[in-house]
Amino acid sequence: MTVAIGSSQKTLNNLFSFSSLATTLSTSILGASPSSSSSSSNSSSTISTLTNYSPSPSLSSSSTVTLTRFNHRRSSFDYGNDDDNIDNTGFKSEKLPVAGLSNLGNTCYMNSVLQALFATKPFRDYIMAHHENGQLYSALSRLFKEMSSSIRHGHVNPSQFRSTFIQLESKFNGCEQQDAQEFLSYVINDLHDELNKPKSRSRSNNTMIEPKSAQEAWSIYRSRYDDSKLVDIFVGQYASVIKCSYCGNESTCWDPFWDLPLPVPRNRNRIDIDECIAEFTAAEILDGNEQPFCSRCKQHRRSTKRLSIVRSPKILVIHLKKFSNNGYKLSSDINVNQQIRIDNGSTTMATYELYGCVCHHGYLSRSGHYTAYCQYDQQRWYHCDDQKVRDCTNSFSMATLKDSYVLFYRQQQLDHHYSSRL
């Protein structure tokens, strides 16, 4: 599998809290299920088998992090100079594509994610144009419509949406700073639960099925577990191959993902995004207590695991795991690429274009400040800092995103270059 950044290609050895690993559909050559790191604090979550499948986006946790109360101030961070004149209300005199959001007390994490979701056109169009049941869906639909219609009248107060959300997720109540990626996972998870309409969920379908291909595994996943519009937008599929180091037997599992939780290499001043992808897909040694059971050897054996993407989502969400277990952020700056290309195994090459980024400014996961950079019209970039939204196109560059935490890419094209498929 290869990922090309710009015009260059780099070979990946081995590739959505979103963190977002779901059902394991196994060929059962090796019986154990692989595990994957998936939270903002680099904690591990075990990929469940089909019979133990949890049919929703996985959630990141930072339970090992001590909560730190953050007294929100208007930001002292330097975001660069405004490109145009701003009136005395803090808004540009020309029409902006979206209104800002009031900070309700350390809710910059929420505001930045909501702005990035608003910039996600297929998601925004679905939320605003469709009339579905569900209290969170309705609350978000109202908020998006306010954000769209209030651009000349100041910022929007998102308190009604927040009240609805914390009725479902009480852990976000209070004034403590929260993790933006974790909030994103919970919002998508709860919306998906409201909209999920799988075609069949009878008890007879709870038996283990051993799919023989990625397409078969995907069909089972969509028909039995997750079938909402959000799956169409955000969910991709990866293949996990476990190889017995003793006899060479291989087992392939196909799993959906809602985002890619990319590890950030330590002790590096500056890192390219493709290095993070390569780290995520690198061969992993399964040894000791992690040894899977080999069906040929009839015992647990030391093995290797490799990951590769076989189905690219329309919207690719990348979560950079920049926080250590004690809540401190790794000091490495990330070189974000405006365009990335992902080779989907033997058949297709997906090209993605960056359109949104949630940035964390500070040193601790439960403090600091969140802002978002969003591209609403595929031409101009806007900086969203709570109630203030400004056009920053003239001063914007990829270097602006050195504090990036969650990246949003839209698929530009899907090139079919081979005839076979996994």
- What tokens does 56 get? 């929703």
Q: Contacts for 130-136 with beta carbons within 8 Å, 24 or more apart?
A: 130/229, 132/194, 132/195, 133/194, 134/191, 134/194, 134/195, 135/164, 135/167, 135/194, 136/164, 136/165, 136/168, 136/187, 136/190, 136/191, 136/194
Measuring CA to CA, which residue among 246, 295, 296 is closest to residue 31? Answer: 295
- What tokens does 207 get? 């038996």
| Known active-site residue 108 | yes
Q: What is the DSSP letter of 346?
A: T
Whether 314 contacts 349, CB under 8 Å: no
Measuring CA to CA, which residue among 363, 406, 407 is closest to residue 182? Answer: 406
Q: Which of 108, 253, 359, 384 is catalytic?
A: 108
151, 162, 367, 324 alpha-carbon torsion, rounded to 10°: -110
Q: Which residues pair with 2 in a beta bridge?
A: 11
Measuring CA to CA, which residue among 42, 119, 21 is closest to residue 409? Answer: 119
Q: Which of 360, 361, 369, 383 is catalytic?
A: 369
| Known active-site residue 369 | yes
φ, ψ of residue 301 to 5 degrees: the values are: -135, 150
H or E segment to which residue 385 belongs: strand 381-385
Whether 28 contacts 61, CB under 8 Å: no
H or E segment to which residue 215 belongs: helix 214-224
Residues taking part in catalysis: 108, 369
